[in-house]
Amino acid sequence: MNIVKAPNLIRTTGLGSCVGLVLYDQVRRIAGMVHVMLPSSSLSKSGPVNVAKFADTAVPQLAAKLVQKGARVPALKAKLAGGAQMFQFSGGSDLMRIGPRNVEAVLEQLKILRIPVVAEDVGGNSGRTIEFNADTCILQIRTVNKGTNEI
């Protein structure tokens, strides 16, 4: 979980079933990114939880951190990418469709916080590297086979 101010960039590499979520305040030119691995902290089997890892803890935490650094709640917007299905299994336990579940969980949290989703590039079955420019508020998504995409 990291926060940047323009003109800095923020990026995360090799997103598979994880979801990369960016929250930003375009006017104040501040953005934060979080790399969500699992949908819910209730899945955690250990005591102290790493809040950045779970959708239900990471999203509110990121929003709170941004506000602390000067972003305004009503101005926050979201862009997200990731949540791919990297392997296809015939049987498939619930853990195997973790990508879509991560996306659902992140969207649900955004809905609770009333943060509008401006753009998303989710699902599919390829890994992504994403980079957000706090200046232009463009999220650049690079995949191995489909080149670079901007949202």
**Residues forming the site for another protein (CB under 8 A):** 13-18, 37-38, 43-47, 50, 53, 84, 86-91, 95, 98, 126-129, 144-145
Q: Are 71 and 25 in contact (CB under 8 A)?
A: yes
* Rg, Å, the chain Cα set: 15
Catalytic residues: 18
Nearer CB in complex with another protein: 43/67: 43
The Cα–Cα gap between 84 and 5 comes to 29
Q: Helix and strand tally (H, E) in the chain?
A: 2, 9
Q: Spell 82-109 as b/e; 16+ CB within 10 A means b.
A: bbbbeeeeeeeeeeeebbebbbebbbeb
Q: Are 141 and 150 in contact (CB under 8 A)?
A: yes
> Backbone phi, then psi, for 71, in 5-degree steps?
-80, 155
